[in-house]
């Protein structure tokens, strides 16, 4: 789309950028068609062309937001073949739309055309709305009788407005996918207009258009790998971290010892992909290794560069830690035994002392008893 003194559009070859067609609104669309008032300062955007599509025969469908009009433009001489909507519509139409976006040709023959639009139902400056909410619309145009009718509508999922932008995408299964600009809001509907889902992002996010496609990512760069080996509990263990940014088809990873002189390689381990970055630990060590990505069917997708690491030495410190780990349970058991012995010894000592005290009390009682007997005998 072109802007400036006179709005318009160009078609260029996508490879060579060679100009194939150019069109300007000057001499074709009068400024009086606009529903937007002129401004004192700045450029008066009387048309605001926001989408263009191409008919199978080479003509163009232009969407003018500020004129509430769709224009069919000749691909031969640039003349306007018909207008739909706005102040000078060529079609009889019982419906209405305004401030629309993303006009697309869905089906077409010599006498009938189906188009889709996002009816914003509101224009810049929050002018009076033309519907209670924004909506997607499928519209049939009988170009022989010049009568148009609404085939299906898809209401805003929250009953609100796409104030500035938005789009309508008809999916291959007949469903409709719409973007509503504010908060990046998206929604999907069945062919008869039943809401299937809606989702939104942050309040400050605005998305001009949103689309739904099957997407397969296969990065040009190889997978990223980080490897670390260490002595753990008396054996060598290797920790592998692998990720492949953008890859969508990875099912699992396979670790290989790097190829030898004869081109052979040894499979060391395999592990399931668990997320963007997958971590995996296995017993053993290899100085040179590669990681290969495998899809669900078992076909290879790509392979990392050779990763080279040095074998960690088993130092006195690591040996001491390993020995400490191995003797940790024995030391605990020994300490527990010592504590038990101490408690038993203390208990036995206390028992002996208590018996000694008790025996002392028994002797004293015996002497007191004998003395009492002698005292009584004197009186007898």
Q: What is the pLDDT of residues 259-289, one digit of tens each?
A: 666 667 889 899 999 999 999 888 877 788 8
What SS3 string covers the chain? CECCCCCEEEEECCCCCCEEEEEECCCCCCHHHCCCCCCCCCCCCCCCEEEEEECCCCCEEEEECCCCEEEEECCCCCCEEEEECCCCCCCEECCCCCCCEEEEEEEECCCEEEEEEEECCCCCCCCCCCCCCCEEEEEEEECCCCEEEEEEEEECCCCCCCCCCCEEEECCCCCEEEECCECCCEEEECCCCCEEEEECCCCCCECCCCCCCCCCCCCCCCCEEEEEEEEECCEEEEEEEEECCCCCCCCEEEEEECCCCCCCCEEEEEEECCCCEEEEEEECCCCEEEEEEECCCCCEEEECCCEECCCCCCCHHHHHHHHHHHHHHHHHHHHHHHHHHHHHHHHHHHHHHHHHHHHHHHHHHHHHHHHHHHHHHHHC
Contact predicate 179/166, CB 8 Å: yes
Angstrom distance (rounded) from CA 71 to CA 92: 15
Domain ranges (residues) in the chain: 8-199, 224-308
CA dist 1 and 102 (Å) reads 13
- For the chain, residues with pLDDT lower than 50 are 3, 317-321, 329, 356-363, 369, 378-380
Q: State the residue for tokens 């048309």.
A: 47
Which is it for strands 92-93 and 147-155: parallel, antiparallel or unpaired?
parallel
Looking at residue 356, what is its pLDDT? 46
In the prediction, which pLDDT does 5 show?
A: 61
Cα–Cα distance for residue pair 292/173, rounded to 1 Å: 36
Residue 80: phi and psi, rounded to 5, are -85, 120
The b-or-e profile of 264-275 (16+ CB within 10 A means b, else e) is: eeeebbebebee
pLDDT given at position 379? 42
pLDDT at 194: 96
CATH architecture of the region 224-308: Sandwich (2.60)
Cβ-contact 309, 255 below 8 angstroms: no
- Tens digit of pLDDT for each residue in 291-305? 999 999 999 999 999
Residue 252's Cβ-count burial label (10 Å; 0-12, 13-18, 19+) is: middle
């Amino acid at each position: 789309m072109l802007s400036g003194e006179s709005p318009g559009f160009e078609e260029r070859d996508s490879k060579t950028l060679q100009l194939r067609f150019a069109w300007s609104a000057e001499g074709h669309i009068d400024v009086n068609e606009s529903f937007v008032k002129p401004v004192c300062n700045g450029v008066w955007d009387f048309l605001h062309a926001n989408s263009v599509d191409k008919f199978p025969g080479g003509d163009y469908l232009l969407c003018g937001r500020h004129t509430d009009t769709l224009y069919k433009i000749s691909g031969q001489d640039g003349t306007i073949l018909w207008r739909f909507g706005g102040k000078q519509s060529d079609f009889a139409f019982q419906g209405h739309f305004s401030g629309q976006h993303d006009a697309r040709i869905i089906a077409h023959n010599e006498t009938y055309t189906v188009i889709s639009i996002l009816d914003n139902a509101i224009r810049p400056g929050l002018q009076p709305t033309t519907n209670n909410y924004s909506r997607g619309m499928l519209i049939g145009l009988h170009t022989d009788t010049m009568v148009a009718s609404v085939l299906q509508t898809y209401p805003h999922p929250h009953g609100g407005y796409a104030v500035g932008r938005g789009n309508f995408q008809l999916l291959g299964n007949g469903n409709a996918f719409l973007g509503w600009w504010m908060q990046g809001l998206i929604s999907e509907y069945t062919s008869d207009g039943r809401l299937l889902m809606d989702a939104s992002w942050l309040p400050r996010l605005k998305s001009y258009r949103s689309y739904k496609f099957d997407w397969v990512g296969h990065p040009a760069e190889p997978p990223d790998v980080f490897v670390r080996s260490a002595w753990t509990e008396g054996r060598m263990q290797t920790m592998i971290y692998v990720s492949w940014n953008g890859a969508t088809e990875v099912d699992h990873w396979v670790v290989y010892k790097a190829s030898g002189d004869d081109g052979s390689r040894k499979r060391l381990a395999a592990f399931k992909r668990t997320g963007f970055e997958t971590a995996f630990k296995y017993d053993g060590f290899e100085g040179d290794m590669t990681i290969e990505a495998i899809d669900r069917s078992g076909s290879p997708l790509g392979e990392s560069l050779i990763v080279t690491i040095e074998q960690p030495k088993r130092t006195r410190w690591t040996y001491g830690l390993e020995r400490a780990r191995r003797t940790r349970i024995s030391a605990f058991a020994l300490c527990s035994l010592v504590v038990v012995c101490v408690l038993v010894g203390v208990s036995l000592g206390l028992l002996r002392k208590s018996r000694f005290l008790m025996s002392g009390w028994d002797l004293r009682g015996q002497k007191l008893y004998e003395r009492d007997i002698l005292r009584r005998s004197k009186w007898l």
